[in-house]
């Protein structure tokens, strides 16, 4: 029986477009004792492939972690495939606020040693023996108890732009680093303190809660559903937010605003700012905080070195990248000597500034019009190909936007129309043009209007 993808990402995207059906992007996780992860993986692939469900899923002896795209009209049938397993009965599915039919273009289910790497090698550790789950109101109440210690189990680049008041925010790159650091720091409080923890969606602090119970901590609590669910509950129930700033998210937005507080600085000039940028240099992609002024001056780059590189001919850029580790191996998370105002670890509990609502309105008022959609999927940063829905010309300022690509503005200096160089392209034309970054099938092309 077929237990692998037979369609390319490009072919899958074309089928999705032709079907014209809405898809839902969602995520879920569950810790459980799975005796045979490979068999579990095969059962899921067969069931989900039949429903045209796509996504990136990890399974292990300790459970499942999934980010998926499911046809809206198959949502109930998809939930039924989960209900087959006792540990996933009634599981919470976190449906994304912003939907994209091309969020996932393959069904990939991988068997891993663990669904969340923790660096532990202790067979007596039971990850399902978790702490007490708290809803937003309960979490707030316990935060106000002077006998409570609250810990952020996210990484430095996440907590820097937003965190709960009074939280311990470890200066770590990975979850596995935080466990021994917090364990050592809190050794004297095992019996007489409330240990309160949180993360983005719950999967990391749930494992952390089990770990600290295993270490002998008596009163262990976690925020149910993480910051994502907390934000939903405080809005629906009109509860005061004890979280200040932004919640870092792992899609093209790089953050959801919870309050109008800004608690971080532009890493280049020190101005209050909490907007993350991926360095425009394809051989860098450093994730860092950059204000609009520095973004314009540095052209989305983290350093003068990267700024010089992006202005080299594409052939020269390719030569410089030759031999470098690519993909996720070259992505770094906001630590570089070039970033003078990077703050992590001990973070402020008071905002540095408030969001300028006037600037927000100005940004919203910037007009753009959809002119094309990506038509071809190139695996390397070289050529963009779009099918036009409106006229476009050399000299036009455009924006390429997508869930992975993010938002990148530039001005056309040359275009090829139906394979030939031309100054203007019209509706129905296929255009190609060189770019220093990779274009994906989910990307859309907008013309920026003055």
- Which residues carry out catalysis? 199
Residue 158: CB partners within 8 Å, gap ≥ 6? 152, 200, 248
d(CA 97, CA 5): 28
Largest CA distance in the chain: 74
Calculate the alpha carbon distances from 199 to 90, 222, 355, 423, 448 in Å. 22, 9, 23, 50, 37
Backbone φ/ψ region at 428: left (φ over 0), alpha (ψ -120 to 50), beta: left
Residue appearing with tokens 């009163």: 219
Residue appearing with tokens 């789950």: 133
d(CA 71, CA 107): 13
DSSP label of 272: B
Orientation angle between helical segments 136-143 and 226-236, nearest 10 degrees: 100
Helical ranges in 261-355 per DSSP H:
292-298, 304-310, 314-321
DSSP 217-253: -SEEEEETTHHHHHHHHHHHTTPPP-EEEEE--SSTT
d(CA 205, CA 29): 12
d(CA 76, CA 26): 13
| E strands, 316-396, in order | 353-354, 368-374, 383-388, 392-393
d(CA 369, CA 372): 9
Residue appearing with tokens 């000039």: 269
d(CA 114, CA 117): 6
Helix (H) or strand (E) holding 141: helix 136-143
Pairing of strands 54-60, 107-111: parallel
User: What are 190's two structure tokens?
Assistant: 């095992």
Q: Is the separation of the CB atoms in 400 and 443 below 8 Å? A: yes
Q: Is the separation of the CB atoms in 262 and 245 below 8 Å? A: yes
């Amino acid at each position: 029986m077929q237990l692998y993808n037979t369609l390319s990402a490009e072919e899958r995207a074309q089928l999705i477009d032709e079907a014209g059906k809405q898809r839902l992007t969602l995520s879920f996780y569950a810790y459980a004792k799975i005796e045979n992860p490979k068999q579990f993986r095969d059962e899921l692939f067969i069931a989900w492939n039949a429903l045209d469900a796509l996504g990136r899923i990890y399974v292990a002896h300790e459970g499942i972690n999934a980010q998926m795209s499911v046809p809206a009209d198959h949502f109930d049938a998809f939930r039924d495939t989960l209900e087959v397993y006792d540990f996933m009965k009634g599981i919470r599915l976190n449906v994304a606020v912003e939907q994209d039919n091309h969020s996932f273009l393959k069904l990939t289910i991988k068997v891993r040693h663990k669904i969340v790497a923790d660096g532990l090698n202790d067979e007596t550790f039971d990850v399902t023996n978790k702490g007490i789950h708290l809803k937003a109101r309960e979490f707030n109440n316990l935060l106000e108890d002077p006998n409570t210690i609250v810990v952020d189990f996210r990484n430095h680049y996440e907590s820097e732009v937003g965190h709960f008041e009074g939280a311990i925010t470890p200066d770590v790159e990975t979850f596995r680093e935080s466990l021994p650091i917090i364990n050592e720091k809190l050794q004297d409080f095992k019996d007489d303190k409330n240990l309160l923890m949180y993360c983005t969606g719950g999967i990391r602090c749930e494992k952390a809660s089990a770990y600290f119970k295993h270490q002998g901590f008596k009163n262990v609590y976690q925020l149910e559903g993480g910051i994502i669910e907390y934000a939903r509950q405080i809005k629906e129930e009109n509860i005061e937010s004890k979280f200040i700033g932004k919640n870092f998210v792992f899609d093209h937005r790089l953050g959801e605003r919870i309050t109008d507080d800004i608690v971080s600085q532009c890493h280049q000039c020190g101005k209050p700012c909490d907007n993350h940028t991926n360095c425009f240099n394809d051989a860098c992609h450093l994730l860092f905080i950059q204000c609009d002024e520095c973004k314009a001056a540095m052209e989305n780059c983290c350093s003068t070195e990267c700024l010089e590189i992006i202005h080299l001919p594409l052939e020269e850029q390719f030569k410089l990248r030759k031999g470098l580790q690519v993909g996720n191996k070259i992505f770094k998370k906001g630590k570089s000597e070039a970033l003078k105002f990077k703050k992590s670890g001990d973070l402020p509990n008071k905002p540095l500034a408030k969001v300028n609502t006037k600037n927000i309105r100005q940004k919203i008022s910037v007009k753009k019009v959809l002119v094309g959609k990506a038509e071809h999927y190139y695996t390397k940063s070289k050529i963009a190909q779009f099918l036009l829905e409106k006229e476009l010309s050399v000299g036009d300022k455009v924006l390429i936007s997508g869930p992975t690509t993010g938002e990148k503005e530039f001005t056309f200096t040359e275009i090829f129309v139906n394979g030939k160089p031309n100054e203007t392209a019209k509706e129905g034309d296929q255009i190609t043009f060189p770019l220093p970054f990779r274009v994906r099938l989910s990307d859309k092309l907008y013309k920026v209007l003055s």
